[in-house]
């Protein structure tokens, strides 16, 4: 079973349904990278929903991110360039090999 690092997903950790869903995915023994990807995506969605004042559990199609004035890519672009789950000290972008 994957250990979920809740500090990476503070919004997910605060919402019981989201926390339960991610825990179920980990209990199904999905790959750790899958749990990480699901956690990041759910965190993004819930954070975006808060920004546009939509409650995900009761959202209608009219309130979907596709009809919002703030598009999800704008929200995602506001994240730091270096992912928070990578070490920031001594970390460098890997060089691509030139052929």
Contacts of 24 (CB under 8 A, 6+ apart): none
How does pLDDT run across 34-73, given as a tens digit for each residue? Answer: 999 999 999 988 988 888 787 877 777 666 655 555 565 6
Kindly indicate the confidence band of residue 2, based on its pLDDT and cuts at 50, 70 and 90. Answer: confident
The CA distance from 52 to 65, in Å, is 9
Q: Are 6 and 15 in contact (CB under 8 A)?
A: no
């Amino acid at each position: 079973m994957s250990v979920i690092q809740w500090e990476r997903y503070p919004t997910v950790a605060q919402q019981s349904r989201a926390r339960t869903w991610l825990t179920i995915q980990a209990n199904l023994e999905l790959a750790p990278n899958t749990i990480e990807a699901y956690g990041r995506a759910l965190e993004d969605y819930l954070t975006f929903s808060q920004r546009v004042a939509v409650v995900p559990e009761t959202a209608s199609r009219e309130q979907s991110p596709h009809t919002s004035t703030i598009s999800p890519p704008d929200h995602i672009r506001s994240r730091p360039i270096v992912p928070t789950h990578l070490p920031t000290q001594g970390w460098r972008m890997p060089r691509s090999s030139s052929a």
